[in-house]
Amino acid sequence: MIDDNVLTKLVLIVGNDHVISNEEAKLSYEIDWRGNFSGRSLIVVKPQTTHQIQQIIKVCQELSIAIIPQGGNTSLCGGGVPVNDYDKPQIILNLSLLNKILEVDTANNSITMEAGCTLANVITAADQQERYFPLSIASENNCQIGGNIATNAGGIHVIKYGMMRDLVLGLEAILPNGEIVNQLTTLRKNNTNFDLKQLFIGSEGTLGIITKAILKLYPKPEKYITGLIGIADIEQAVAILSQLQSKFSVCAFEIIHSSAQNIYNTYFPDSQFPISAKWLILFEFETASTEAEEFELETLFNIFSRLNINLNEAIIADTSNKRDNLWHIRENIPLAEKMHGYAVKHDISLPISQLESFIQSNSANILKYHPHAQIIMFGHLGDGNLHYNVQLDNQLNTKTNEAKINEIVYNDVIKHGGSISAEHGIGQLKLELYRMTSDPQSYLLAKQIKQLIDPNNILNPGKIF
Ligand SMILES: Cc1cc2nc3c(=O)[nH]c(=O)nc-3n(C[C@H](O)[C@H](O)[C@H](O)COP(=O)(O)OP(=O)(O)OC[C@H]3O[C@@H](n4cnc5c(N)ncnc54)[C@H](O)[C@@H]3O)c2cc1C
């Protein structure tokens, strides 16, 4: 039951229409996208101004209530929902009404917005001014810029444009003591003291509430060359990537294993993969004009022929419709997986040179442990990011054996010099793993920074640490 005192105070701040206290109505905010994490909240609050957020923080500090910053709630590690059975009451601070695009500056190639704007809205606002914002993730219609910054989101264009960290020029954040840190700058060169905005990028809502941001924009690519090719192994993929990068401005290079192709084809029978192979590569590069495109296609086919790529297993999307279809297939793989049932998910990254060796040794280790295991693999090969998901013969078995599966996978990830979280973050999912695999001094320093900024631990407790 919600304490009337809290409700009254929060309603006074944001107005009756912008709080949700009904148990049933709160549910969708309390459960994460995958349905793996859920926790009760006293109330969901939807502020519309930074000043309201400052007042909410003041109330929460007074009454010792934890605040869960929430964007689009698309986190894949339980970052944006309350922790179950936490010893303090928790409220969800949903940023969706802080959603104005404030400026598109074509001279400076930057865009300024409130943090609750969806990624899709930012991409569209840039596009309307003939500019391009390159972050590309399948949750773009729901996830918000604040969430993208707080998770340092990655996606398919990291190979060319970097992670969200590389796309942020400035931001504004409210600290747990209610003070505003104004790092809102459009400057690309600014060497005055620490680059404090970096503290908030990837902090997963534990250090401050991001309320505004200024992001980099790029020229809109004129045209794309997009292709799907079948190959036999990762080594071949790495060779192709290297050749393509020496000639073209490669902006995406995805790999999809037959396991992921099969699952996708089962759940999306009306728009199946047009070809199949042990591995498929979905690549794309930007091209300046139709004349350049003709020349580049010739170069591309020369590379394919040098590398013995079977052209019967290659598709080049020569219309924007065909290109959209290919990307639509790729973007729906996570959804097909979700429909396929519970899998132990691993969002890992490895040095590209180690990918083949990791897959060989780890799949052998998993199959030794459980001969009927299925390993579903796809990912952003261009930046060494593999989604490596394990399912046993049935859902219950998969869940019961989760700890052991994780141990087998993460041991090999560490042995191969990889990371236990490539792009989704730590959230509630990987607390222990993060502690165990971090350099002890780095972990301690991170905890000390949290303690300094949020001594009462009211901001997103139970996440990261
Ligand atoms: C289908 C699908 C595909 C995806 N693909 C990718 C992908 O390719 N790459 C990738 O990196 N991720 C991907 N994700 C994960 C997810 O979309 C990203 O992590 C995204 O950046 C989260 O944004 P959000 O607004 O939904 O944040 P939420 O899920 O609401 O929150 C995520 C974290 O950010 C914090 N937070 C949110 N808003 C703020 C704010 N304003 N201030 C401070 N903290 C805040 C929360 O407390 C939480 O810790 C995918 C998710 C789905 C469902």
103: Cα within 13 Å, side-chain hemisphere: 15
Angle CA 35–36–39, to nearest 5: 90
* The 3-state secondary structure of the chain, one letter per residue: CCCHHHHHHHHHHHCHHHEECCHHHHHHHHECCCCCCECCCCEEECCCCHHHHHHHHHHHHHHCCEEEEECCCCCCCCCCCCCCCCCCCEEEEECCCCCCEEEEECCCCEEEEECCCEHHHHHHHHHHCCEECCCECCCCCCCEHHHHHHCCCCECCHHHHCCHHHHEEEEEEECCCCCEEEECCCCCCCCCCCCCHHHHCCCCCCCCEEEEEEEECEECCCEEEEEEEEECCHHHHHHHHHHHHHHCEEEEEEEEEHHHHHHHHHHCHHHCCCCCCCEEEEEEEEECCHHHHHHHHHHHHHHHHHCCCCHHHEEEECCHHHHHHHHHHHHCHHHHHHHHCCCECCEEECCHHHHHHHHHHHHHHHHHHCCCCEEEEEEEHHHCEEEEEEECCCHHHHHHCHHHHHHHHHHHHHHCCCECCCCCCCCCCCHHHHHHHCCHHHHHHHHHHHHHHCCCCCECCCCCC
If you measure from the C-alpha of residue 204 to the centroid of ligand 1, how many angstroms do you get, rounded to a whole number?
A: 9
pLDDT at 28 over 90: yes
Give residue 311's pLDDT band: very low, low, confident or very high (50, 70, 90): confident
pLDDT at 2 over 80: no
Give residue 3's pLDDT band: very low, low, confident or very high (50, 70, 90): low
pLDDT, mean over the chain: 95
pLDDT tens column, 312-349: 778 999 888 999 999 999 999 999 998 999 999 999 99
pLDDT at 13 over 90: yes
pLDDT tens column, 385-440: 999 999 998 889 999 999 999 999 999 999 999 999 999 999 999 999 999 999 99
Closest C-alpha residue for ligand 1 atom 52: 139
The pLDDT of residue 308? 86
Task: Bin 83: left if φ > 0, else alpha if -120 < ψ < 50, else beta.
Answer: beta
Closest C-alpha residue for ligand 1 atom 15: 75
Give residue 292's pLDDT band: very low, low, confident or very high (50, 70, 90): confident
Pocket test for ligand 1, best of 48, 57, 75 (most atoms within 8 A of CB): 75
If you measure from the C-alpha of residue 138 to the centroid of ligand 1, how many angstroms do you get, rounded to a whole number?
A: 11
The Cα–Cα gap between 153 and 163 comes to 6
Using a pLDDT cut of 70, give the percent of the chain over it: 99
The pLDDT of residue 428? 96
Range with lowest mean pLDDT among 167-171, 281-285, 380-384, 410-414:
380-384
The Cα–Cα gap between 80 and 94 comes to 9
Q: Which carries the bigger pLDDT value, residue 92 or residue 297?
A: 92
The pLDDT of residue 349? 96
pLDDT at 266 over 90: yes
Task: Provide mean pLDDT across the span 263-291.
Answer: 92
Q: Which carries the bigger pLDDT value, residue 338 or residue 202?
A: 202
If you measure from the C-alpha of residue 78 to the centroid of ligand 1, how many angstroms do you get, rounded to a whole number?
A: 10
Pocket (CB within 6 angstroms of ligand 1): 33, 69-76, 79-80, 95, 115, 137-139, 143-144, 146-148, 150-151, 153-155, 204-205, 209-210, 334, 423-424, 460, 463
